[in-house]
């Protein structure tokens, strides 16, 4: 079998029952998965957790279809024992940079269809390398089926399916510090903001500094506009393998905002440089959770912008969802587990969500569970081309523009010795009117409109000794671009 070999263990599940084992089922995210499975199916659910007393208490509250079991995700034999009677397994033990590959491999050895909510970029390549083993074993393994990754991937696929060609997929998330309680979540955040992280840009995977390239992104209210930065996540690693986009990026942030500054400060001090340091710092931060979440909104959100071509137009499709982190994570994972249990997904192998899940029915089921997707579409007219700098002389610009467009209109005053940008904007088939204001005594600069509706910016160099229009000594640039619509 090559690098990885597996011996399939036999299972003794009673005929006619479906047993879904949730590894880490008593945890912050895992408990939401368990509740969703109990409330929306008739499956038997095993809450497998290191904290057996908490698993037992949760099982008692949920009723007779829930049962508790001990599992140590760091121990192979313990994992195999927990999965012995499973039909489907869900991996929810974090941090995933430590446990993702161990849980997945145990599922392969057990011959159990499996999904996880892995949100760390580090183990993704290893998981994908299990593909041949999974196919030979007849096991379906879906990694990253939660909030982000998970819902984010499915929205990216849904948007891509609406376009003829996909140019860019931009994913952004915001997590409320008051919206989670798990220690593993803290470890994930510190891991994601440390060092170099993957992104996919201009057709190739590259590494960029975590916390770099900040931008402000609009999320559903009451979250509003949030500054997000590059963080380490699986989406830029997996999505380009299925969707032929030129660029796939992911940025994230925490609320309240000062949590991001704290994370950056810890990184700069070197306190997250190793996994052992992340463990120590995370335990301290976890004890201060009430303080860290103070003043924040107990909500989280994801936003996906898919840009590409459709019917000759450039289109950006925007999808957003906001809810509690546990629901955003637990509901997609539970839906996926039930799809495996009901044989709605049967192809063996290792997959990210966008590669194996049909997005439309999945999103319909998500809506039935109360997760609403906000959709928005922005269309850029076909006549607006991508910016392509063209070097020509100033005399040629003026002569060619006047010959094509017709009458001139006055523009504003030029400052002696400076380069001035003059915008010539005309609607198709109409001439532009003069500017609403022109400073007294200002010289007129030739200006006109183009027949194709394109906006042209002309850089004219003015000789400081000659206030009148003079040819530029350096080539000017025609910018045939149009302003990109502001992101929501």
- Give the tens place of pLDDT for each residue, 337-373: 999 999 999 999 999 999 999 999 999 999 999 999 9
Task: Indicate the pLDDT class of residue 405, thresholds 50, 70 and 90.
Answer: very low
User: What span, in angstroms and rounded, lies between the C-alpha atoms of 411 and 131?
Assistant: 63
Does 291 score more than 60 pLDDT?
Answer: no
Angle of the 183-192 helix axis to the 258-268 helix axis, nearest 10: 60
Least confident span in 50-54, 163-167, 175-179, 198-202: 175-179
The mean-pLDDT minimum among 13-17, 370-374, 407-411 falls in 407-411
Q: What's the whole-number mean pLDDT along residues 406-417?
A: 38
Q: Is residue 177 helix, strand or coil?
A: helix
Residue from 461, 477, 301, 448 nearest 389 by CA:
477
Residues of the chain with CATH 3.40.50.720: 19-145+326-368
Q: Report pLDDT for 406.
A: 42
Q: What is the mean pLDDT of residues 175-179?
A: 90
Closest to 94 (Cα-Cα) out of 190, 35, 21, 30: 30
pLDDT value at residue 285: 85
Model confidence at 294, in pLDDT bands (50, 70, 90)?
A: low
Q: What are 84-137's pLDDT values in tens digits? A: 999 999 999 999 999 999 999 999 999 999 999 999 999 999 999 999 999 999
pTM of the model: 0.76
Measured over the CA atoms of residue 256, residue 123, residue 21 and residue 115, the dihedral's sign is positive
**Centroid of chain to Cα 422:** 39
Could you give the residue range(s) of every CATH 3.30.360.10 domain in the chain?
151-324+373-380
Q: How large is the average pLDDT for residues 175-180? A: 89
> Which of 246-255, 257-266, 395-404, 415-424 has the lowest average pLDDT?
415-424
pLDDT digits (tens, 9 = 90+) for 218-248: 999 999 999 999 999 999 999 999 999 999 9
- Token reading at 21: 């084992």
- Spatial distance between the Cα atoms of 25 and 31, rounded to a whole number of angstroms: 5
Percent pLDDT > 90 in the chain is 67
Q: What is the band of 289 on the pLDDT scale with cuts at 50, 70, 90? A: low
Per-residue pLDDT, 22: 98
**45-69: per-residue pLDDT in tens?**
999 999 999 999 999 999 999 999 9
Q: Does the domain spanning 19-145+326-368 belong to CATH 3.40.50.720?
A: yes
pLDDT at 482 exceeding the cut of 50: no
Q: Is the pLDDT of residue 408 over 50?
A: no
* Least reliable range by pLDDT among 91-95, 192-196, 263-267, 381-385: 381-385
pLDDT, residue 295, reads 55
User: What does the mean pLDDT of the chain come to?
Assistant: 81
pLDDT digits (tens, 9 = 90+) for 154-174: 999 999 999 999 999 999 999
443: pLDDT strictly greater than 60: no
Whether 425 has a pLDDT exceeding 60, the answer reads no
Residue pair 210/197 in contact (Cβ under 8 Å)? The answer is yes
Assign 292 a pLDDT band (cuts: 50, 70, 90).
low
Question: With pLDDT > 70 as the criterion, what percentage of the chain qualifies?
Answer: 73
CA dihedral 201, 206, 207, 209 (to 10 degrees): -30
Select from 400, 415, 382 the least CA-distant residue to 478. 400
Q: How far is CA 252 from CA 46, 155, 202, 371, in A?
A: 33, 17, 21, 20
Domain 151-324+373-380 fold is: Dihydrodipicolinate Reductase; domain 2 (3.30.360)
Residue 326 has pLDDT above 60, yes or no: yes
Say if residue 382's pLDDT is above 70: no
In this predicted structure, the answer to whether residue 480 has a pLDDT above a threshold of 50 is no
Strands 476-478 and 349-351, by their bridges, are unpaired
Give residue for tokens 């003069």: 434
Residue 278 has pLDDT above 90, yes or no: yes
Decide if pLDDT at 3 tops 60: no
Residue 486, exposed/middle/buried by CB under 10 A (0-12, 13-18, 19+)?
exposed
Give whole-number Cα distances, 463 to 24, 78, 401, 421, 440, in Å: 73, 81, 21, 15, 20
pLDDT grade for 318, boundaries at 50, 70 and 90: very high
Are residues 296 and 181 in contact, defined by beta-carbon separation less than 8 angstroms?
no
Dihedral pair phi/psi, residue 128, rounded to 5°: -65, -30
Decide if 420 contacts 462 (C-beta within 8 A).
yes
Assign 288 a pLDDT band (cuts: 50, 70, 90): confident
Structure tokens at 283: 């335990």
Helices (H) and strands (E) in the chain, counts: 16, 20
Half-sphere exposure of 471 (CA within 13 A, CB side): 9
Q: What is the spatial distance between Cα 211 and Cα 194, in angstroms, rounded to a whole number?
A: 8
Q: Beta-carbon neighbour count of residue 427 at 10 Å?
A: 9
Q: Check whether 460 has a pLDDT greater than 60.
A: no
3-class secondary-structure state, position 74: coil
> Confidence class of residue 419 from pLDDT cuts 50, 70 and 90?
very low
How much is the average pLDDT of 15-33?
91
- Residue 71 pLDDT greater than 90, yes or no: yes
- 480 or 145: which carries more pLDDT confidence? 145
In sequence order, the β-bridge partners of residue 250 are 171
- At residue 439, the pLDDT reads 41
In Å, what is the CA distance from 449 to each residue of 391, 400, 426?
A: 20, 11, 4
């Amino acid at each position: 079998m090559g690098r990885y070999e597996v011996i399939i263990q036999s299972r003794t599940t009673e005929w006619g029952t479906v047993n879904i084992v949730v590894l880490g089922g008593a945890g912050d995210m895992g408990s939401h998965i368990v509740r969703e499975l109990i409330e929306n199916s008739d499956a038997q659910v095993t809450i497998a957790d290191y904290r057996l007393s908490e698993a037992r208490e949760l099982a008692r509250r949920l009723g007779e279809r829930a049962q508790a079991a001990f599992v140590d995700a760091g121990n192979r034999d313990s994992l195999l024992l927990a999965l012995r009677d499973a039909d489907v397994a869900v991996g929810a033990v974090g941090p995933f940079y430590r446990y993702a590959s161990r849980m997945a491999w145990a599922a392969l050895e057990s011959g159990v269809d499996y999904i996880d909510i892995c949100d760390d970029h580090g183990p993704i390549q290893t998981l994908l390398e299990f593909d041949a083993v999974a196919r030979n074993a007849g096991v379906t393994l879906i990694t990253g089926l939660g909030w982000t990754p998970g819902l984010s991937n499915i929205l990216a696929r849904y948007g891509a399916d609406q376009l003829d060609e996909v140019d860019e997929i931009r994913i952004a998330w915001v997590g409320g510090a008051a919206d989670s309680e798990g220690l593993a979540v803290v470890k994930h955040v510190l891991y994601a903001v440390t060092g170099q992280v993957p992104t996919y840009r201009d057709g190739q995977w590259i590494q960029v500094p975590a916390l770099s390239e900040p931008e402000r992104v609009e999320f559903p209210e009451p979250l509003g506009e949030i500054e997000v930065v590059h963080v380490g996540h699986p989406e830029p690693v997996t999505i380009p393998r299925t969707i032929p986009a030129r660029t796939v990026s992911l940025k994230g942030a925490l609320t309240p905002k000062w949590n991001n500054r704290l994370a950056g400060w810890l990184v700069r001090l070197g306190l997250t440089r190793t996994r052992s340091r992340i463990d120590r710092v995370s335990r301290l931060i976890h004890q201060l959770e009430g303080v860290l979440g103070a003043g924040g909104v107990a909500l989280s959100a994801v936003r996906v912008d898919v840009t590409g071509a459709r019917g000759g137009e450039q289109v950006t499709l925007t999808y957003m969802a906001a809810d509690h982190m546990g629901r955003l994570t637990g509901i997609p994972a539970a839906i996926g587990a039930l799809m495996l249990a009901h044989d709605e997904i049967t192809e063996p192998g290792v997959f990210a969500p966008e590669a194996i899940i049909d997005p439309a029915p999945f999103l319909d089921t998500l809506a039935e569970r109360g997760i609403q997707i906000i959709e928005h579409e922005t269309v850029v007219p076909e006549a607006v081309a991508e910016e392509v700098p063209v070097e020509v002389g100033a005399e040629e610009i003026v002569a060619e523009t006047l010959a094509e467009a017709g009458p001139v209109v006055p523009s504003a005053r030029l400052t002696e010795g400076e380069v001035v940008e003059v915008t010539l904007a005309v609607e198709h088939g109409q001439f532009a009117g003069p500017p609403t204001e022109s400073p007294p005594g200002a010289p007129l600069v030739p200006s006109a409109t183009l027949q194709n509706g394109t906006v042209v910016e002309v850089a004219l160099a003015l000789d400081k000794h000659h206030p009148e229009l003079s040819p530029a000594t350096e080539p000017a640039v025609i910018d045939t671009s149009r302003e990109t619509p502001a992101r929501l």
